[in-house]
Amino acid sequence: MGTWTKADLVYRLEIVIPEFVPDAFIQETLAATQTAKADVERIDQVSIGTIAPAKICHILHVGPYDDEQNSFDTMHAFINAHGAVRTSKTHREIYLSDAQRTAPEKLKTILEVTIAEEA
């Protein structure tokens, strides 16, 4: 997929909502938050959604966020070696470390991309 810079990235923040949380509670909380935080930029764009199941490849990246490209390169080599291709330019990052409390070289991030078997 080539080299990228942070300027190329588009962000979407996600949080898991457990299935046992009632939909009514979720909608009430969302509406109340959007009202209370109306001055927060793009608060009106917060939405609830479902992520469709997909075949993924993931890797545990250990180190600074700025070094993630090395992990992506490793992951892409693995994907290609196993006859698969990325299906999207987007990826997901799951942060396992608190960046405010963890040294950059010890940060742990799961990087995920969607894949499919090469046609």
pLDDT, residue 2, reads: 64
CATH number of the domain bearing residue 67: 3.20.80.10
Do the strands 108-117 and 56-62 form a parallel or antiparallel pair, or are they unpaired? antiparallel
Q: What is the pLDDT, as a whole number, of residue 62?
A: 98
Round to whole Å and give the CA distance between 109 and 63.
Answer: 8
Q: Is residue 34 part of a domain?
A: no
pLDDT of residue 13: 82
Task: Give residue 20's pLDDT.
Answer: 97
Distance CA 74, CA 19 (A): 34
**pTM for the whole structure:** 0.75
Look at the chain and report how many structural domains it folds into: 1
Q: 98 lies in a domain?
A: yes
- Sequence-distant (≥ 6) Cβ neighbours of residue 96 within 8 angstroms: 108, 109, 110
pLDDT for the residue numbered 4: 67
Distance CA 45, CA 47 (A): 6
Residue 20 in domain? no
Owner of token pair 């075949």: 55
Tell me the average confidence (pLDDT) per consecutive run of 10 residues in the chain, 119 residues long.
Answer: 70 87 95 94 89 94 95 97 94 94 97 93
How far is it, in rounded angstroms, from Cα 57 to Cα 116? 10
111 belongs to a structural domain: yes
Q: Is residue 94 part of a domain?
A: yes
Does residue 93 form part of some domain? Answer: yes
40 falls within a domain = no
Task: Write out the two tokens for 65.
Answer: 């966020």
